Structure 1
Amino acid sequence: MQIDDFKAFVKTIPAIREEVVKGRYTWQQLYEFYVLYGEDDKMWEPYKHNRTDLTGLLDILKNVDLDALSKSFEGLQKILDLVSTFVVKEQPKSQNRQWYDD
């Protein structure tokens, strides 16, 4: 039964998989550590910290009001359009020349 618990635990912290891929640990080593010390050991804290940061970011994204964000972008686009009407666009002289200007 502990192997199923370990698998569920590892799924909650994807950074652990990277440690195995990099060759720092084997799955056997991590499983033995899990069995001996449990999931609350200090060894897992750096991995849990990374998960918390990602979870916090996802929570922030979930709470974004997409309608308000869209309206903000529309307002920004209007401002940019207005500013662009005041900007004088000079064309390079080579494009303004006619065949008889040479």
Structure 2
Amino acid sequence: MIKTYNILGDIMDEFKEFLKTVPSVKQDVLNGRYTWQQLYEIFVMYGKDDKFWQPYKTNSSIDLNGLLEIIKNIDLNALSSSLSSIEKVLNVASTFLDKKEPERERKWYDE
């Protein structure tokens, strides 16, 4: 029995999965900069790691590992101290902004 492979279908599925990682490319298609066919051909000829895709990857991908590293390296004591200082500054500023006009004496005809 001869095995047949649906190479075009596999590549198309891979292209569709790749597009999910670079959703900002859709805007360039809608703006008429590229067609889906052009993007598919670039994907097939050069692959997903080609420099053509770099602007889309940097704009749309979030490096979760990098984000976790940043979060792990946050000094919570320093953050708490900074927030406390900001709160104090805002309280001082609000005292200047909240000054109300002094109430004037009410006369019998104001009532």
Pair 85,59 (structure 1): closer, same or farther in 2 beyond 3 Å: closer
Q: Which residue matches 2:107?
A: 99
2:60 maps to 1:39: no
Q: Which residue matches 1:19?
A: 28
Tell me the CA shift for residue 23 of structure 1.
1.7
Pair 70,36 (structure 1): closer, same or farther in 2 beyond 3 Å: same
TM-score normalized by the length of structure 2: 0.58
Q: Which residue matches 1:89?
A: 99
Deviations 1:24-58 (A, max 9, x none): 11111111111111112221121122235x437x8
Higher helix share: 1
Q: Structure 1: how far apart are the matches of 2:104 and 2:37?
A: 74
SS of the residue 2:32 aligns to? coil
Runs of 4+ in structure 1 displaced over 3 angstroms? 67-81, 84-88
* Aligned-partner residue type, residue 106 of structure 2: Q
RMSD value, Cα: 3.7
Deviations 1:53-72 (A, max 9, x none): x437x816x7277x766775
Structure possessing the higher radius of gyration over alpha carbons: 2
Q: Identity across aligned pairs (percent)?
A: 39
